[in-house]
A and B are shown apart, each in its own frame.
Chain A
Amino acid sequence: MSTAARPGPGSRQEARTAWLLLAPALTAITVFFAVPVAGGLALSFTDFDLYAVADPRNARFVGTANYTDLTRDPLFWRALRNTLLVVLVGGPLTIALALGGALLVSAPLTRLRGLWRTLFFAPVVTTLVAVAVVWRYLYHPRFGLFNQALALVGLPPIDWLGDPRFAMLAIVLLAAWRSFGYGLVILVAGLQAIPATLYEAAALDGASAWQQFRRITLPMLRPPLLFVAIITTVGYFQVFAEPYVMTRGGPANATLTIALLMYQQGFRWWNMGRASAVAFVLFGLILAVSALQTWIERRRAA
Chain B
Amino acid sequence: MRAQRLRIVLLHAALGAAAVATIAPLLWMVSASFMPAGEASQFPPRLLPSRPTLHHYAALFERLHLGRAFGNSLLLSSAITLISILCNSMAGYAFAKLRFSGRDRLFALLLVTLLVPAQVGVLPLYLELRAMGLVNSYLGVIVAGIATVFGIFLVRQFALAIPDELLDAARVDGASEWRIYWTIVLPLLRPILVTLGVFTFLAAWNDFMWPLIVLTDESKHTLPVALANLAGEHVQDSELMMAGAVVTVLPVLVLFLAVQRQYLEGLLMGSVKE
| A interface, CB within 8 angstroms of B | 1-10, 13-15, 17-19, 21-22, 24-26, 28-29, 31-37, 39-40, 43, 53, 56, 101, 104-105, 107, 109-111, 116-123, 125-131, 133-138, 140, 142-143, 145, 148, 177, 181-182, 185-186, 189-190, 223-224, 227, 231, 234, 237-238, 240-241, 244-245, 259, 262-263, 266-267, 272, 275-276, 279-280, 282-283, 286-287, 290
Contact = CB atoms under 8 A, between A and B. Distances in A.
B40 interface: yes
Contact of A134 (B90, B152, B242): B242
A50 B258 CA distance: 47
Given A118-B257, A185-B264, A241 B208 contact: yes
A189 B268 contact: yes
A130 B202 CA distance: 14
Nearest to A100: B18
A1 B23 CA distance: 36
A14 B8 CA distance: 59
The 4 A-B pairs with the shortest beta carbon distances in the complex, nearest first, are: A10-B99, A39-B124, A36-B121, A17-B177
A279 B119 contact: yes
B252 interface: yes
Given A15-B101, A129-B224, A133-B241, A143 B41 contact: yes
B202 A125 contact: yes
Contacts of B268: 185-186, 189
A137 B241 contact: yes
A127 B43 contact: no
Given A26-B91, A117-B264, A129-B227, 12 more contacts: A22-B91, A33-B116, A36-B122, A107-B11, A127-B206, A133-B231, A137-B40, A177-B22, A223-B274, A224-B272, A240-B208, A283-B117
A127 B128 contact: no
Given A13-B177, A107-B11, A110-B15, A122 B22 contact: yes
B253 A130 contact: no
B68 to A, nearest CB: 17
B267 A185 contact: yes
B113 interface: yes
B238 A122 contact: no
A128 B40 contact: no
Contact of B87 (A28, A119, A227, A287): A28
B147 to A, nearest CB: 4
Contact of B120 (A21, A53, A280): A280
B244 A130 contact: yes
B120 to A, nearest CB: 5
A145 B121 CA distance: 39
Contact of B98 (A18, A140, A145, A267): A18
Contacts of A18: 94, 98-100, 103
Contact of B143 (A32, A101, A185): A32
